[in-house]
Structure 1
């Protein structure tokens, strides 16, 4: 079982993501306020972080950069999720430090496949 922190300000999306993760045997930690996401990550010590890019207060890109600057979180894989997939977004998101990028509305199969790919000790679940 992996510990996965989900940073998302949309209640329906956070429920969907957490339900999917729980259904695949993971412990999901929802975070709806990006201002507390870094402290929550330090306390929760996730195996994976899934974050929206378009967040109020602290953007997903800024959160990713902040996590990469903290030694204890620098190695944690990050999957970015956003509804606003424009040209160059993939490169910007990856250069900030995310290993994967999924656009909304998500494909459940792709979401689960990306999560499995980012968790080195997990068997692929489809």
Structure 2
């Protein structure tokens, strides 16, 4: 069973993403900010991280930087989960260490397929 860490501060987005992932047999850990994300990363091993970029306190780019600098975490595939879908953003996220991004609002019909393709890409 795939284990996914979802870092998202919007409760409605978190509930939707967690529901879709769990409904498709994936194990989900939820974190609403950077501190909770690193607490989870210190306790468990994840196959994938879905990371909101706009977070209170430590933003997603800072979280990503710290993940990629940590030898124990840098192998985990990270996908940006963001409303930032402007031209050039995907390249910025990939240059920072993401394997791709999913724009919000998420497309419910293609979300699971997209997540699975990123898990295959990161494997």
TM-score when normalising by structure 1: 0.89
| SS of equivalent residue, structure 2 residue 46 | coil
Moved over 4 A (4+): none
Relative to total residues, which structure has the larger helix share, 1 or 2?
2
Q: Deviations over 1:50-78 (max 9, x none)?
A: 01111111111111111111112111111
2:102 aligned partner: 102
Runs of 5+ in structure 1 lacking a partner? Answer: 121-126
Hey, what's the Cα distance between the residues in 2 that align with 1:76 and 1:111?
20
1:124 aligned partner: none
Superposed CA RMSD in Å reads 1.2
Give the length in aligned residue pairs: 120
In 2 relative to 1, CA 36–94 (structure 1 residues): closer, same or farther, beyond 3 Å? Answer: same
